[in-house]
Structure 1
Amino acid sequence: MAKFPEGRYTMVNASVRESYGGATRSQLLRARLFAQNAGQSVDVITFDVYPEYESERHLLAEAGLTCPGVSLLNLHEELSSETDLERFRNTDSTNIPEWFHSLSDIPFVMEYTSSGQPWRRKYDATGTNRSFFFSYLRPDGTVYATIDRRIGGTDWDRNERGTVVVRNDGSPIGFYARKSALISRWIKILGEGETDHFLIFDSKESGYLIAEENRETNQHFILLAHTPHLQPPRQWDSPPASFDWGETMKSLALWDGFVVLSEAHKNDLNLRYGDRNNIYVIPHPAVDIVPDTDSTKRDPDLALIVCRLENQKRLQDAIHAFAHVLEKRPTARLEIYGTGSKLQEWTDLVKSLNISNSVLFMGYEPRPERQYERASVFIMTSLFEAQPLSLLEALAHGCPIVSYDIKYGPAEMVRQGSNGFLSPEGNIKTLSEDILRVFSSDIATMSASSIDLARQFSVPIFLDKWCRLFESVKIQKAQRVSIISSSLEVQRVSAVGASPIAIALSNEGIGVRLRASHLRIGGRLIVTALYEGADRPAGLRVAVRIHSTEGEVQYLPNTLSELEDDNQFDLNWTIAEDDLSRLRSNASLFYEVTWNNDQRLLEIPLDAELFLNLSASNHKDLAEGAS
């Protein structure tokens, strides 16, 4: 059994429902594995105002999504039943906003739970039925919190939608201008008395706002990324995939641990945000890996898809590809398990292609493992993933795979030609050919290869990686830094193997054009950072890089030596002749400062003319540096 560090373990999400999809289910699976395989109690905490969590607990337990040792807590349930509300005091009652005191003059509408219990009072602030205050009620009918919802949108932005926490007698006890501040106080209360409180966030929307709040020294904040952080074409330098992703990446240095599900995802993060010590790779686990499968039970003509029927899954490509498959293998069948908003559209597409007898929509399947063990090929055509759970389930049950080579995940779960094939994204013709290749392959051998690969994602390996993360974030806490600024002044350029190939006169003097095997460039680097201890933490690393317009990154040889001033360094790097030509055409030069959990990536202030026309005064130095 895995042995985690002593402490409290909390998994954080805005809301949890039995009906939710992959991110919530992976969070609950993680909580169960911690409880069952590491003996570690876990609280799953939520913040939504939802009066039916008691029923939800029963649904989750019946579905096997929770287990003993996993508790589901909700902020509003806690506020409505808390006997020591004084712990939520954060301001003198004289600072309670005026709108709270004025509610007695505004009529309200009472709203009820499904069981008929009074739930909240709804105040129409402007009489337009568009702007509201809400007072939430205890079972005895008294108010425990009043929220200003006159501003639209969600709770997860920086607008101030104040919450007033209220005593049983109706008097206010505390005011929180942002919901994240109230949650931060609750998290502090939950972790009081603990040496270490490990908090795993599965929601970036709420996570980055809570991370911005002041935290306790015993708290370790860990965020798990369930989706790619980049827009198409999803190169390392593509813009953030959404506003929330942009804000999350700005706050990357605030996280004690930032967890991604694949090495490819981490590689892209490293290129843009540095190889920080707070970025970890922990894939989802493959649970219930079958030791072997009987390939004779597999239908040699059956292909399988298990997914939500939503735009992200791009099933139109799979359907068109299967139409091509049927031209060469008329006996083939595709069964699609899942529900969603695109069902009718994709059903109509199947009809229009005249393949309704061969492509079947089977609805929701609560036990997809039964289907993975029947099929001879699993197909995935998603637009993007982080680490698709369906592929992991297919691996664990020995199903060969054909998948688009998308970011992220498939490339780490498919060995080309061994347990399936990766098809170029969007290439329907190749996708259909790869499906036919699996159908005509030795399915037993491919199935065994899938199971072998699944063992790399086993539960013991998964738990060991989490244990190592918890141990490392504790150690690294004292090494955290915040880089305030960095600057580089280029002071010297010398050419190695240089010879003049042209001399020209200009108003600025004599210009000398050189051919050099490489250039040596040096300058003074100044890095200013904040850190808690008296001594500067170790871990400062500097790299010089060339960026092409196509997104390629090349690192250049460099040396770094400290000067007498403790925040100044001498940086020297070498540019080869081939790279000089690239810099003259379509590339740029950057330097990257990575210091434990923080990073800066800045273009080097080096005039490109230095590579072409060096002044006569510099030419002497260049000649002396030649060899």
Structure 2
Amino acid sequence: MSAYGRVRLEGGGKTVAMLARNRMITTRLAIPTTVLTFDSSPSYAAVRDGLLERGDLAPGMQLLNTYEWYRDTARPETGEDVEAGERGGGGRLVDLAHLEPVDTPHPDGSVHRTEYLDEAGTVVARDYRRHDGSVYVRIAQDAPRAQLVDPDGVVVRSFPGVPAWRRHWLRTLVRQQHTSGHTSGQTVVVTDTDTVLRELWQVEADVRFVHVLHEVHVQMTGEPPASAPIRPSLQPVLDQLERLDRLVVLSEVQRDDVVVRLPPVLRDRVVVLPLDTETAPPLDAKGVPATVAPRARAGFVMLGRLTPVKAVHEAVEVFALVVAHRPEARLDVYGEGPLRPELEQLITQRGLANHVRLRGFDETARDRLHEATAYVLTSSKETFGLAALEALGRGCPVVAYDVPYAPARIHDGVDGFRVPPGDRQAMAERIITMIDDPDLVQRMSEASHAAARRYEPARVAEEWRTLLAGL
């Protein structure tokens, strides 16, 4: 199982990586996988259909959501296991007729949720409803509590908060797996966010936890990563690492910086398992691309959300320097995010409207990697850089700020360029070099394909097989 907070069709790199990992395990290792989500969005049917249509969900993969699962369950299973703070059933839901109800519709035309507001307009409680209008869970806001309810309005289980309800759901799914015979051994839950891990690892069930660390583990204070302060959300994980079966990092360099902080007895729990990417076009027996199309002369690309950590404004400033000397240069940025208005304003201020284009979210954006001159990476921090890896797999060289830890897999001058973080002039000079030397770009393209072979799904899948077998 993968426990993930929320899945969207327009999800970012972490969502893409999580789905790709489950797809790889299911299709290459013949191990069925289930993705668990916990948000209250009513649109998971549409999300599931969209993921199936574009191939992100393969046969043998399930996408389950807490709210959707209980909405479709006529009578929730409570089981006999009760976590500390939980209470058994008994009694009916308290009548909230004195509060103002506000309904949110479900895409199927029924009521998805009813919010109850007090006189000040504050939400006091939320009822989530089945197709027939009956309440399946009430979540109180003033004293955090979740109550499971049967179709007759009888409370069958009370939890001290939503995380406890989520753990109850996980226990229920694990119990059902074992009862049905769908698993012959222990259940492995892979988490990708610190918050989900901290909520679930208290579960009292036969579960092994593997946590994948997608982010840089330290605060970016300017200190070396081996000594910089740990991110607050990750500190509890490292402090209680004995509760975790494996901590997966995405590069050897990051592993070395993490284990130096751990007691020797726990260091073997930190393992390196890279993300995977398909090489396209396929390589021949000698590792040489069967066909490599000529790359654009001055067309560069970025993929990622428009957020501070991606630092797209750095790329805009770099291209202001590039365009002053090579006016034919173009940068296409694919992705959406909260910084779009600021970036649009910056592009206009720099006179780059015809040179830097914000293309928004586009499912086909990765196809541009087949033809772009290079991929531009100006992030302030990256653990692996999925989009950069996908670029290499499509023969697209990468020019990047040398921040921890993603650019470490880029061989400077071979399959791309690495420049000091924030050195806009140096990056502009490398981009101009690529514009002026198509032969260099072509050699880098061929080298990119070769570098990406290390991350082909067949190889990474075997590493996951070894990890899972060793739990």
Aligned-partner residue type, residue 241 of structure 2: L
Q: Distance in 2 between matches of 1:90 and 1:100?
A: 22
Deviates more, 1:295-304 or 1:86-95: 86-95
Aligned-partner residue type, residue 405 of structure 2: Y
After superposition, the C-alpha distances for 1:292-314 in whole angstroms (9 at most, x for unaligned) are 27566212222222222222221
Aligned-partner residue type, residue 297 of structure 1: P
Please report how far the alpha carbon of residue 325 of structure 1 lies from its aligned counterpart in structure 2 after TM superposition: 2.4
Matches within 5 A, 1:49-60: 49-60=40-51
| Residue of structure 1 equivalent to 2:286 | none
| Residue of structure 2 equivalent to 1:72 | 63
| Residue of structure 2 equivalent to 1:417 | 413
Please report how far the alpha carbon of residue 380 of structure 1 lies from its aligned counterpart in structure 2 after TM superposition: 0.7
Change beyond 3 A, Cα 1:99–1:149: farther
Aligned-partner residue type, residue 350 of structure 1: I
Change beyond 3 A, Cα 1:196–1:407: same
After superposition, the C-alpha distances for 1:423-478 in whole angstroms (9 at most, x for unaligned) are 001111111122233333522211111111000111111101111111222xxxxx
- 2:93/2:153 contact within 8 Å kept: no
How many percent of aligned residue pairs carry the same amino acid?
25
| Residue of structure 2 equivalent to 1:404 | 401
Q: Distance in 1 between matches of 2:140 and 2:332?
A: 49
Q: Quick check: 1:22 aligned with 2:13?
A: yes
CA RMSD of aligned residues (A): 2.7
- Residue 236 of structure 1, aligned match among 215, 226, 238: 226
SS in 1 for 2:114: strand
Mark the runs of 5 or more structure 2 residues left unpaired by the alignment: 284-288
Q: TM-score scaled by structure 2?
A: 0.88
Q: Distance in 1 between matches of 2:92 and 2:138?
A: 8
Matches within 5 A, 1:182-193: 182-192=165-175, 193=178
After superposition, the C-alpha distances for 1:174-219 in whole angstroms (9 at most, x for unaligned) are 11113222222222222222421111112221211211x2432x31
Q: Distance in 1 between matches of 2:299 and 2:430?
A: 14
Q: Quick check: 1:395 aligned with 2:392?
A: yes
Q: Distance in 2 between matches of 1:48 and 1:347?
A: 31
Q: TM-score scaled by structure 1?
A: 0.67
Greater C-alpha radius of gyration: 1
Matches within 5 A, 1:223-622: 223-232=211-220, 233=222, 235-241=225-231, 243-274=232-263, 276-290=267-281, 291=283, 292=289, 297-412=294-409, 414-439=410-435, 440=437, 442-473=440-471
Q: Distance in 2 between matches of 1:337 and 1:50?
A: 25
- 1:293/1:447 contact within 8 Å kept: no
Aligned-partner residue type, residue 24 of structure 1: T
- 1:96/1:164 contact within 8 Å kept: no
- 1:208/1:251 contact within 8 Å kept: no
Q: Distance in 1 between matches of 2:97 and 2:329?
A: 70
Change beyond 3 A, Cα 1:142–1:269: same
- 1:42/1:71 contact within 8 Å kept: yes
After superposition, the C-alpha distances for 1:351-392 in whole angstroms (9 at most, x for unaligned) are 333343333333333223431122222211001122111101
SS in 2 for 1:147: strand
Q: Distance in 2 between matches of 1:85 and 1:45?
A: 17
Q: Distance in 2 between matches of 1:44 and 1:123?
A: 31
Please report how far the alpha carbon of residue 255 of structure 1 lies from its aligned counterpart in structure 2 after TM superposition: 1.0
- 1:337/1:362 contact within 8 Å kept: yes
Q: Distance in 2 between matches of 1:239 and 1:433?
A: 34
Deviates more, 1:76-85 or 1:256-265: 76-85
Q: Distance in 2 between matches of 1:296 and 1:139?
A: 53
**Greater relative contact order (CA < 8 Å, ≥ 6 in sequence):** 2
Please report how far the alpha carbon of residue 284 of structure 1 lies from its aligned counterpart in structure 2 after TM superposition: 1.0
Q: Distance in 1 between matches of 2:82 and 2:453?
A: 54
SS in 1 for 2:234: helix
Deviates more, 1:451-460 or 1:62-71: 62-71
Mark the runs of 5 or more structure 1 residues left unpaired by the alignment: 1-9, 152-160, 474-627
After superposition, the C-alpha distances for 1:202-237 in whole angstroms (9 at most, x for unaligned) are 2221211211x2432x31111111211211126222
Q: Distance in 2 between matches of 1:333 and 1:135?
A: 51
Structure 1 or 2: more strand by fraction = 1
